[in-house]
Amino acid sequence: MIVAAVLALVLMVLDHRGDHVAGIRATLATTITPVLYIASVPTSLYGWFTDTMASRAELQRENEQLKHEQFSYRTQLQRLTALEAENARLRGLLSSARKTRGKRMIAEVINVDLEPTEQQVLINKGSNDGVYVGQAVLDAFGVLGQVTEVAASTARVLLLTDSRHAIPVRVERTGFNAIAEGTGAMNRLRLNFVPNTTDIREGDLLVSSGLGERFPDGYPVGQIEVIKRDTGEAYAEIDVVTAARMERSGEVLLLWPPQTWQPSGDGSLSVPGRDATDASAEQAPATAPGLTPSTPTTQKPANSTPGVNAPATKAPATTSPATTAPASATPASTEGAAA
């Protein structure tokens, strides 16, 4: 008994104090995997049964609906491609690391019940597929969690809502950074240490901020449901509903970090661009009097009109050149004449 107890205690300490027994653990987990698959058989069988027995009309309807969905996603994807290209170009101008899309893989959740006190799921991809501990896992709607344990063909994913889990997030509307902690309840997170006076509203979308360098940034994490502001307290109590639908995620997406690279000729790329914008902003008022009278009808006034317009009429710089061009033609010409 004493030998067993000591052995167990040693194992526990080793497991808790670091990854000393990760090898043993992974081997055991791999050996025990068939049990998990057997346990998931009834549910898979039920799923297979309902799929097989679905009526023709039902299938047709579903097919129709999926086609519609795919169409709308395709149209959105067109925009995304353009936006990604634009984003890459702008990042190049700022000489910051450009993000390429990393490797991804779809995994299925093995339908087994684990400890009711812990929020975790098993997926059917493991170290054979290159899954690693700490990897980010998404579902179709947002961030789901991270991998905490890897066996040969399965991996354990700790969900965002587990009380041991926290994820750095950003309020999408304001850019405010916070940390969302799991509550242990299904689909519920909590924002901690957000001052009462912060500009934050119910319904705000939270996206991953990528500050912990574990989750990629910009993926939806949740939405703020309730904010309780108690004037006696320094921090507001903020409840969040996760974007990921944890009660029914059948398929999840594994992400690998994208390859980041620094553009090599960053200095030559970015400086002319910045110079050009600076020049148009600063030099326009000075050169405008000389420029505008000479070329009143070509497209050049459209470029210089904001510059001309700002000192003359104090109009906001956001007015579009097309609308201001005719209006500013007269003040510009009068100013030009006055000069």
Partner 1 sequence: MITHARHGTHWVLLSFLLALVLTVLPLPSLLNQARPAFVLLTLIYWVLALPHRYGIFSAFAIGLALDVITGKMLGQHALLLSLLAYICIKQYSRVRMFTRPMQAAFVLLLVGLSLLLQLWIENAVRPVSIRASYWWPALTSGLFWFVWFPFLRHWRRRLQIS
19 near partner 1, judged by CB under 8 A: no
| E strand map for 260-309 | 260-261
- What minimum distance in Å lies between the beta carbon of 43 and partner 1? 5
State CA 63 to chain mean position distance.
Answer: 30
**Torsional class of 322: left (φ above 0), alpha (ψ -120 to 50), beta (otherwise):** alpha
Q: Which stretch binds partner 1 (CB under 8 A): 84-92, 106-114, 134-142, 188-196?
A: 106-114
Which residue, 199 or 247, has its beta carbon nearer to partner 1? Answer: 247
- What minimum distance in Å lies between the beta carbon of 108 and partner 1? 14
120 near partner 1, judged by CB under 8 A: yes
User: End-to-end CA distance of the chain, in Å?
Assistant: 101
Residues comprising the chain, all counted: 339
Which residue, 112 or 211, has its beta carbon nearer to partner 1? Answer: 112
Contact criterion met (CB below 8 Å) for 164 and 174: no
125 near partner 1, judged by CB under 8 A: no
Q: At what angle do helices 266-291 and 321-338 cross, to 10 degrees?
A: 50
Which residue, 98 or 125, has its beta carbon nearer to partner 1? Answer: 125
Of positions 127, 163, 192, 319, contacts partner 1 by CB under 8 A: 163
15 near partner 1, judged by CB under 8 A: yes
113 near partner 1, judged by CB under 8 A: yes
Encoded amino acid at 192, one letter: N
Residues in region 171-210 near partner 1 by CB under 8 A: 184
108 near partner 1, judged by CB under 8 A: no
- What minimum distance in Å lies between the beta carbon of 243 and partner 1? 22
Contact criterion met (CB below 8 Å) for 215 and 254: no
What tokens were used for 108? 């299925």
Looking at the DSSP bridge assignments, the partners of residue 106 are 253
Give Rg (Cα) of the chain: 29
Contact footprint for partner 1 (CB under 8 A): 1, 4-5, 7-12, 14-16, 21, 24-25, 28-29, 32, 35-36, 38-40, 42-43, 111-118, 120, 148-149, 156, 163-164, 184
